[in-house]
Chains A and B, each alone.
Chain A
Amino acid sequence: MSFALNEIEATAKRAASGAGLSWGMAEEAAKAARWLCAQGIDGAAVLAAVLEQNGGKAAADLRPASLSGDWRTDGGTLCPLFAGASLSDCAARLATGRITLQAVSHPAMLLPFAAAAASQLGKAVTLEWEGCAAVTDGRSVSVSGDALLQACVSGASASLGGSLDAPLSQAARATPGTAAWESLNRFAHRTFAPATEASRLAGAGAGLSDND
């Protein structure tokens, strides 16, 4: 079934929040999933994989311990949402040099954040890891190599420059894989308050008749 990109974003935001991310990070995850879908990449599947992998880990074990030197986490493997948000936040640093990440999971999820950096800088940004190089100008992405959808890589780097030789064609709709979509919806469900009679009556302000 085909979905609107807004539907992907709305469900992704709820899912990321349901998985324990702060609302600000959930917004990042949702925009990122949508951006991937707009490139014809199954962003819902990448996000679902990230959220499942993060399950139960503390934020301190998922994010870079420091933004100085190589980015690494004491927890072993960086989460691409936390590393990606920092990459976008540190866009200006790319003007003076490369940002290097140590072990990171699902590096495809770094692409939307590299795109955010490119948008801020008004220049192309290149993201590389073993078997893959992706160049983005913010809106589009050109990918070379066949290792885009790795579950984990031992390192990745972001740098200024690169050319979009063969940008992926933009998609206006998304067709997420069924299992991943169900996974996101399970996470999202955690954000919904269970229905109670009191809530049904008071929460939306029922009172005067609405059948008149």
Chain B
Amino acid sequence: METTAHNTIARRDPALVMRLSRLGSVHQCRLSFMRTLTRRLAEENWSFARPHFDINEQGVGHAVYTATGPQRTYSLVAFAHDLPPEMRSDRVIATAWDATFTLFDGVPTAEDIERLSKNVPYQEAGRVDEQSLSVSRANRSVRLWEHMVDALSHGRQPEAETVDSVGYLMRSTAVYGSGKLGAADFEKIACRPEMAAPFQAEMLSVYLTRAFVRDLVNHMARMRGGEQAVELDKETARSLGIGNSTGLGMAPFIINHPVLFNNWIEAREEAIARVRSLPAATEEEVECFRGLFARSQASVAAWHSQHPVQIGKLEDLNSDLEKITAHLNHTDLTRSTPWDQLYTWAEGALSEEGQELIASLILEPYGDLVDGLSVSMADGRPDALLINGAMTVAAVRDLIEASFGWTLSTDWQAKENCARAWYVSEEKLEPRLGERFEEPIADYEQPLAPARDAAAAHAALAEWDGSLPVAEFLLKHPEHRHTVRRVQISADAPYSEIQDNTISAEVLPIDMLRFKLAVFGATHFDPRSDRWVRICMYGNAPYPEELTKENADRWVYPNAEDQA
């Protein structure tokens, strides 16, 4: 991370930022991985092609989409299937899908495609090799797909209301990268500039998938309607994103990758601090902000959820938007330290949804100040995992108190504080969260309660002479080794730990999923329960052949092409 010496406003306190309810209120921003990708694709003038599209009237076949940058080509190899409706499920435990994909490193030969066709459609039951950078699958939105094919095949455009109520034609249900199912380890691509920011291969795969899905719906309408069929109009196509249905797997990820988790948050916090530290804003910057605020209102207006928690949060957010509008109407943003004053006002006046919206939105006029931070979001410190055994017991205790001070007064024996346990099911290794006192799962618990474990380690360390090296303690107490590792990481990574109870009776795993998905750049979070959430990716984004420097960044706010 670059120096912060020139910032007059400090980064926000981890005690504020790292609460689950706030992480569960984060919105996408300039640093979101999707926007980092589309900016680069446009800046470097990447070219796109569709060398194969071989799909029959049943919707079965394959297609290849290529993306070529200054040094390399990546190919999305897509397989389309005829899935019986009763097999359609977003769950990890599904065994068949409407479409399956791999992002191939380079351009696949006919032999490669033949080999992939025998593996990719089976996902976890197949194998790929190091030429694959990701493996993914997607299911049709039953509500929209048939309506769309039917309308287009009869020569009509789909009804806008039906399109808007869903927002995507297919939703992906898993995008596996970094070594999963035999694919290449991240290390293979880590040194490539286009892959330096996190999850760029996965984001590219999803971006190309969206183009494939649009082409497929046009193709199926043509197969059904023949001469009568029409193409989906460009504007409607542009409004469609690719859906995603995400379950509990993302929650363990952020706990199991504390350095990465820290870097994602620290980059955004540094960006917020830089912008809040600006002594003044130009007219142009203020106009940019005001324009994008208006457009973000349009985005929120199109965000629907049936889940009571999110319905409440959306009510809060809509009320916040009204307050922001009123506040902006009588606020001169060209006066001194405007962004800090706006944010400080938001902290006192708005819900966490509204505060985080403002925190993300004030970054918008400042690409030069912010975008360079995206490279620091990767984890470039593998040695951070090494334990320093020479550190004294007293120093480790101090670190626990710094990162987990809030947890030391928690009664971890009380049932409500440890009601849940995270485990992995034998069934397709699906991550799950269960009731510790009602189900036989405690023996299978995964180490996803760092706060409880930190309290236990702190109590054990209290029995030890503070001047001894922690190596002596770890020799006798290997059960606290993972905690000592985590707190030593936290010494240099202030945003590495969730400062909340991840196993309480009240925990909402969707808060963790929301955070990770917002960092990716997702919008329109629609929880389906407390443990899985649907989102939209790349809604309103230009398609590969439409991508320009002008529309590559702010597409996330509706009407981007007129106002970018």
Contact = CB atoms under 8 A, between A and B. Distances in A.
A209 to B, nearest CB: 9
B481 A4 contact: no
B304 interface: no
Contact of B472 (A27, A28, A67, A198): A67
A5 interface: yes
Contact of B185 (A6, A92, A212): A6
B475 A25 contact: no
B485 interface: yes
B91 interface: yes
Nearest to B433: A203
Interface stretch (A83-91, A126-134, A157-165): A83-91
Contacts of B470: 89
A78 to B, nearest CB: 12
Interface stretch (A39-47, A147-155, A185-193): A185-193
B182 A7 contact: yes
B471 A24 contact: no
A199 B430 CA distance: 10
A85 B473 CA distance: 12
Given A85-B481, A210-B528, A204 B426 contact: no
A205 B179 contact: no
B478 A25 contact: yes
Interface stretch (B211-219, B229-237, B319-327, B387-395): B387-395
B434 A203 contact: yes
Interface in B77-101: 85, 88-93
A54 to B, nearest CB: 13
B179 A7 contact: yes
Contacts of B469: 89-90
A98 B440 CA distance: 48
Which of B182, B434, B475 has most chain A Cβ within 10 Å?
B475
B531 A205 contact: yes
B227 interface: no
Nearest to A4: B179
Given A31-B385, A204-B248, A24 B483 contact: yes
A2 B182 contact: yes
Given A24-B482, A27-B482, A5 B179 contact: yes
A148 to B, nearest CB: 23
Given A4-B182, A204-B432, A210-B245, A199 B482 contact: no
B91 A5 contact: no
B327 to A, nearest CB: 36
Contacts of A116: 386
Interface string A1-38: 11111110010000000000111110110010000000
Interface string B425-460: 111011111100001110010010000000000000
Interface string B165-197: 000000000000011101111111000000000
B92 to A, nearest CB: 7
A192 B424 contact: yes
Given A89-B387, A120-B386, A192 B429 contact: yes
Nearest to B128: A4
Contacts of A91: 389-390
B432 A203 contact: yes
Interface centre among A10, A120, A199 (most CB of B within 10 A): A199
Contact of A203 (B141, B185, B425): B425
A24 B90 CA distance: 33
A199 B434 contact: yes
A91 B389 CA distance: 8
Contacts of A25: 478, 481
Contacts of B529: 205-208
A63 interface: yes
Interface string A156-195: 0000000000000000110000000000000001011111
Nearest to B438: A198
B474 A199 contact: no
Contact of B478 (A59, A173, A191): A59
B462 to A, nearest CB: 19
11 contacts: A4-B183, A4-B184, A24-B481, A116-B386, A172-B185, A199-B441, A204-B92, A204-B247, A205-B528, A205-B531, A206-B529
Interface of A: 1-7, 10, 21-25, 27-28, 31, 59, 63-64, 67, 82, 85-86, 88-92, 116, 119-120, 172-173, 189, 191-196, 198-200, 202-208, 210-212
Given A89-B471, A90-B390, A195-B425, 19 more contacts: A3-B182, A4-B178, A4-B182, A5-B187, A6-B178, A24-B479, A31-B385, A82-B478, A172-B130, A191-B444, A193-B441, A199-B434, A200-B93, A203-B423, A203-B425, A205-B248, A205-B433, A205-B532, A210-B88
Report, nearest first, the 6 A-B pairs whose CB atoms are least far apart. A24-B481, A205-B531, A89-B389, A6-B179, A203-B432, A4-B179
